Every structure is written in C-alpha cells, then in structure tokens.
Structure 1
Amino acid sequence: MKIEMKAVRKLRVHWPIAPETFSRLAKGDAAAFKEEAGIVALLQALSESPDLGDFGNYRHVFESGLGFEGFTSAEGANPTLGEVGQETISPTFVFTTYFDAALPDAAVERCLQHIVDIHPWEVPVIELTGPISVSHTALPVFESRAAS
C-alpha cells in the first residue's frame, strides 16, 4: 500500500476544565467528555463543521491531551479564573484537529470566531498552523478483508 499525504492545517485549542474532569480523563474515564460542559461545547462545534477533522472515511477526527496553563493576569484583564496580579494554574484539555489547507480563509475565520465565542477565557489560546502534511491513505474494504 502506498501512503498518500494530504496538505492540511492544524487547529489546537487549549480549554480550561475542572480538576475533577482532569482527574477522570487522566484515569481513562471517557464518560467525562460528555459531562464537562466546555468539552461538550467544543466537540459540538467540531461536529457542526464538516471541514474540521475530515479524513475521508472518518469524520470529526480529533486528538486530545491534558496539561496545565499558567498565567498572571495584568491590570485591565477580566480573568475567568484567578485574580489580577495573581499567578494562576489551570487544568487544561488540549484539543487538536485538522482541516484541508485549501479551505478558504473566510471559512477558517468563521470556525475560529465560533470557538472564540464559546471559549470561557478572555483571551483563549488557539493555535493555527500553516500547511503541513498528514497521511491520508485508507485501505479499501476489500483489501482489508483479504488480509484477514
């Protein structure tokens, strides 16, 4: 089988979560995905955009990880968590998905704006790469059955 590559852009969003959700996810409790309101909203945004996470036979593909965000809010900030001048550490859900690199800028901007609109942070951490390549090859059904 020849591996085919596809030009995509990577979208990564850092999303604060409750310490209890962090602990549950770290233990492998996937039900926590459906019980944390922020994660539910983020995954809903993914499912509403057919351009995000499109891998041919697989739709709404994403990856996630857990981590921590650290920040100190400066004067003039209106922090969701912590206080101005205080160092804050937040448990974080890191969501990554991909979309076709040829997607028009207007569609990308609409998607990003939707995420900003639902994100609880005053200044959300959203990463968007330039084009990168990912594998895009899927075995046809008849080939995978023949190998069994």
Structure 2
Amino acid sequence: MKIEMKSVRKLRVHWPVASETFSRLAKGDVEAFRDEAGVVALLQAVSESPDLGDFGNYRHVFESGLGFEGFTCTEGANPTLGQVGQQTISPTFVFTTYFDAALDDAAVERFLQQIVDIHPWEVPVIELTGPISVSSTALPAVFASEAAS
C-alpha cells in the first residue's frame, strides 16, 4: 500500500462544556454533541468552511478529546466562568482539524475570527501550527506499482 502525504496546518480549539455533556461524551454518547449549544455552533462553523477538514472524499474531518482547562483570572478580566484571583477548572472539549498549508492568510483569518466570535471565553485557547504532513491517501499496492510503471 502506498501512502501519500499532504502538507497541512493543524487547528486545535479548546471549548468549555457542561459537566453533564462531558460525562455523556466520556461514556461514548455521541448524541451529547447535539445537546451542547457551543459545540453545535463550532461544528456548524466547520461545516460552513469547506477548507477545514478536507481529506478528498471526506469533508469536515475532525478529531476530539476531553480534558480540563485551568486558569486564574487577573484584574481586568471579564470571565465567563470563575472570579478574579480564583483558580478555575473547566471541563473541556478539545477539537482538532486540518487545512491545506497553502491556504491564503485571509481565508485562515476568516475562519479563526469566526471561531473567536462564537467562542464563550474572553480569551479562547486556539492553537494553529505551521505546516505538518499527514496521510492523505492510501492506495493498494497493485495501484501503486501500476502508477510507478
């Protein structure tokens, strides 16, 4: 089998969820995605951005995980959760997707701004990598040998 690689950038967003949603997701209840308004808004934003999660015959590809965010708000903060001077721990949905590394900066800025606009945190945690390689296709060996001929 021949594996072809594609140059992409990774986008990871940390999104707070209700404790009940976190518990349901941890138990494998995928319906919990539909009951969490913030996650629904995030997935809708991805579905409206054709460049996000494009893997040829598969669109809107993403990975997710569960975790916790911890932070302490300082003076001047306007927190959605927690209080100034108090350490806060929040159940978190960690969303990861990919997009073509050659995508122009204006398009990247548009979907980052869309995520910031719908994110509930005053300062959302959004990670954006430089180019990395991921597998984009896997061809059976017979096709790979024919292609090489």
Assess same fold via TM > 0.5: yes
Looking at structure 2, the residues matched to 13 and 138 of structure 1 have their Cα atoms a distance apart, in angstroms, of 28
- For residues 32 and 132 of structure 1, the distance between their equivalents in structure 2, rounded to whole angstroms, comes to 31
Question: Alignment RMSD, CA only?
Answer: 1.1
Amino acid at match of 2:137: T
- The one-letter code sitting in structure 2 at the alignment partner of 1:81 is L
**Match of residue 70 from structure 1:** 70
- Contact 2:54/2:60 (CA < 8 Å) preserved in 1? yes
- Aligned residue type for 1:17: V
Q: Distance in 2 between matches of 1:36 and 1:76?
A: 29
Instruction: Tell me if structure 1 keeps the 8 A contact 2:70–2:87.
Output: yes
Cα distance in structure 2, aligned partners of 1:51 and 1:94: 19
Aligned to 1:123: 123
2:8 corresponds to: 8
Match of 1:30?
30
TM-score of the two chains, using structure 2 as the length reference? 0.93
Q: Which amino acid aligns with 1:123?
A: V
| 2:147 corresponding residue in structure 1 | none
Q: What is the count of residue pairs matched by the alignment?
A: 141
Structure 2 residues not aligned, in runs of 5+:
144-149
Distance 1:112 1:46 in 2: 11
| Structure 1 segment 89-104 matched on structure 2, within 5 A | 89-104=89-104
**Corresponding residue number in structure 2 for 1:146:** none
Give the aligned partner of residue 137 of structure 2.
Answer: 137
Cα displacement (A) at 1:26: 0.1
Q: Which portions of structure 1, spanning 4 or more consecutive aligned residues, are displaced by more than 3 angstroms?
A: none
Q: For 1:103 and 1:111, how far apart are their aligned partners in 2?
A: 12
**Where does structure 1 lack aligned partners over 5 or more consecutive residues?**
144-148
Partner Cα distance (1:23, 1:138) in 2: 35
Contact 2:2 2:139 in 1 (8 A): no
Find out whether 1:45 has 2:61 as its counterpart.
no
- State the shift of 1:138 in Å: 4.2
In 2, the alpha carbon distance for the partners of 1:28 and 1:45 equals: 23
Equivalent position amino acid for 2:12 in 1: R
1:19 equivalent to 2:13? Answer no
SS at match of 2:2: coil
- The one-letter code matched in structure 1 to 2:105 is D
Distance 1:40 1:23 in 2: 17
